[in-house]
Amino acid sequence: MKRSIVSRRLSTAVALAAVATLGLSACGGGSAPGGAASSDSGSAGGTYTVWDPYPQFDDSSAWVQLLKKCGTDNGVTVERTGYDTTDLTNKALLAAQQGTSPDVILIDNPVISTLADAGALTDTETLGLDTSGFEENLLGAGVVDGKTYGVPVGANTLSLYYNKDVLDAAGVDPASITDWTTLTAALEKVSAAGKKGITFSAIGTEEGSFQFLPWFWGSGADLTELDSSQGVAALSLWKDWLDKGYAPNSVINNTQTTSWQEFATGEYAFSENGTWQLGNVKDAGFTWGVIPIPAEGGGVAPAPTGGEFVAAPVQSDDSRYATTTKLISCLTSPENALATDTTLSYIGATQAVQSEQEKDAELKPWVEAVQGAKGRTSDNLGTDYPLISEQMWDAVQAALSGSKTPEQAMKDAQTAAASATS
């Protein structure tokens, strides 16, 4: 008798607790309160908050020192928090909802149009921020309906790293690679010589789309028409490499970091990767070089631009903008930007920084690549881009894993993207 009451209570409690736990975990993200609260508005001087996606830098790093210095120079204290990149978008949206946005935010450039669309960012005209020094193709990612929201702190993009030892052993001259045919021929030779061809990231996230875009654009395809013959050709190129074993099957789950780890084993001839690996490649222990990603018919394919924008979230007290603008100008001034871009392995977003970086032979090909690069949200795609990109990475995944043909995958993707963006 006693026992049954206890056990009944216990079971009810367990069932309730279990359901409640599930409920919490299922919806926790939607209703979690915002992160660090920004300082209260008002008093001259005071504290200005900065959020960035560089959690790897601690308070003693040059980046945080620069932030503090820009603050002191303008008579305010800067309070900085570093978040994980993927986390920062959600944090920024929640903060905007709660009215606890930071004064300055550094955020991945394709997110700018989303935040601007949400009405969470202040445009540069309102801020009185001069954007004339910035390269047009980089600034483009922050332009929504003719207004600019923030300025790039620097940029990165993709090229092909090659392992010279592997290429030499296979008898391939990297200079001979000028289009898709010569690249595939080179991969064939490398495979025949017993080494592995190329590694990249085709993961089902924005990272996968980022890596696919140089090939997609390089075929002459346009994001508004995924299933064009050019778009299908780009996907077929990748699929073909997988089928022939020129690229490993693991690319389907590779992030750019894991694909770099594959390249770092010294077994691979090529890796499609970004400027940010320049520091690591020097420790790789083999002779390396960089060539631009070729377009289908020759020439350099436009690669997407990566890198963060410095932007000013909307504040209820607009008297804060004056100081915010000074802080942003300080962070992006040529000498400070050069220092920041060097620490981050980025290419400058202004003519001044780029011409300084071009003097370095290692950086020169990257400066050129960035100059030829294109913002993902440019062409006024804005908030349509994420919707298209999602369908595109799904198509890449479906085709590479063999569940659909490239034609079918792109056709389905286009149908879905069209209905999502209409």
Does residue 191 touch other proteins according to CB under 8 A?
no
What is the nearest approach in angstroms of other proteins to the Cβ of residue 71?
27
Q: Does 6 sit near other proteins (CB under 8 A)?
A: no
Strand order in the sheet with 288-291: 196-199, 268-274, 158-163, 288-291
Count of CB atoms situated within 10 Å of the CB of 25: 9
Q: How far is the CB of 47 from other proteins (least distance, A)?
A: 23
For β-strands 104-108 and 47-52, DSSP reports them as parallel
Looking at 1, 44, 175, 361, which residue binds other proteins (CB under 8 A)? 1
Question: Please, what's the largest Cα pairwise distance for the chain?
Answer: 87
Does 224 bind other proteins (CB under 8 A)? Our answer is no
Provide the terminal-to-terminal Cα distance of the chain, rounded to the nearest Å. Answer: 64
Asked if 110 interacts with other proteins (CB under 8 A), we say yes
Q: From the CB of 344, what's the least distance to other proteins, in Å?
A: 21
Closest CA to 395 of 208, 245, 270: 208
Site for other proteins in 71-90 (CB under 8 A): 86, 89-90
The SS3 assignment for 197 reads strand
Least distance between other proteins and beta carbon 350 (Å) = 26
Q: Choose which of 50, 76, 96, 232 interacts with other proteins (CB under 8 A).
A: 96
- For residue 174, the tally of other CB atoms under 10 A from its CB is 16
Residue 253 within binding range of other proteins, rule CB under 8 A? yes
Q: Are 202 and 211 in contact (CB under 8 A)?
A: yes
Residue 47 is a binding residue for other proteins (CB under 8 A): no
Contact 184, 269 (CB under 8 A): no
Contact flag: residue 22 with other proteins (CB under 8 A):
yes
Least distance to other proteins, CB of residue 248, Å: 4
Q: How far apart are CA 170 and CA 201, in angstroms?
A: 24
Could you give the C-alpha distances from 306 to 153, 253, 293, 376, in angstroms and in order? 11, 21, 15, 9
Nearest CB to other proteins, comparing residues 88 and 293: 88
Residue selected from 6, 24, 62, 322 as contacting other proteins according to rule CB under 8 A: 24
Near other proteins by CB under 8 A: residue from 197, 302, 386, 406:
386
Q: Does 316 bind other proteins (CB under 8 A)?
A: no
42 binds other proteins (CB under 8 A): no
12 binds other proteins (CB under 8 A): yes
**Nearest CA among 140, 141, 100 for reference residue 120:** 100
Residues 227 and 232: their CA atoms lie apart, in Å, by: 6
Q: How far apart are CA 41 and CA 398, in angstroms?
A: 50
Work out which of 72, 77, 181, 250 binds other proteins, going by CB under 8 A.
250
Query: Is 311 one of the binding residues for other proteins (CB under 8 A)?
Result: no
The count of other CB atoms within 10 Å of the CB of residue 27 is 10
25 binds other proteins (CB under 8 A): yes
CA gap 211, 222 in Å, rounded: 15
Q: Which positions touch other proteins (CB under 8 A)?
A: 1-2, 4, 7-8, 11-12, 14-16, 18-31, 86, 89-90, 93, 96-97, 110-111, 114-115, 117-120, 203-206, 248-250, 252-253, 262, 383, 385-387, 389-390, 394, 397-398, 400-404
